[in-house]
Amino acid sequence: MENMTVIYQFPTYVAEVMEVIGDGNWFVHNFKVGVHSEALNLVGYLYNAEFDGSSYTACVDLNVFQFLVNSVKKNAPKYEYRMAIAYLAFFQIAGIEVDPTYAVYEKVNHQPEPA
């Protein structure tokens, strides 16, 4: 393959999203990277999807899912809500599909039995 230059343009708010995410301590992955924060390289996801045919899925658990729901339902901003929203924005920018299946199963299993 020839040498080529690939340029990606990101929304202006991407720096703020990355600042909120910080070192990515909520992001559990199985990538072989030297430093955990390397897994937060937006360009890597976009490049791999475009040129290597890769696809990525983020499976969110009930905690993250509930933080996202509460960020809309409740009128009380919290750190956890902001963090969950930042990860959702990160996933959308990186072209990572978000799968809430585990969160839904957890929610169903946590519902009290009807009397």
Q: What is the pLDDT of residues 10-59, one digit of tens each?
A: 999 999 999 999 987 888 888 888 887 888 999 999 999 999 999 999 99
Amino acid in position 77: P
Local confidence band at 111 (pLDDT 50, 70, 90 cut-offs): low
Short-list 97, 90, 5, 18, CA closest to 47: 5
Give 3-state DSSP helix, strand, coil % of the chain, rounded to 5.
Answer: 55, 5, 40
Q: Which residue has the higher pLDDT, 78 or 30?
A: 78
pTM value is 0.86
Q: Which residue has the higher pLDDT, 33 or 110?
A: 33
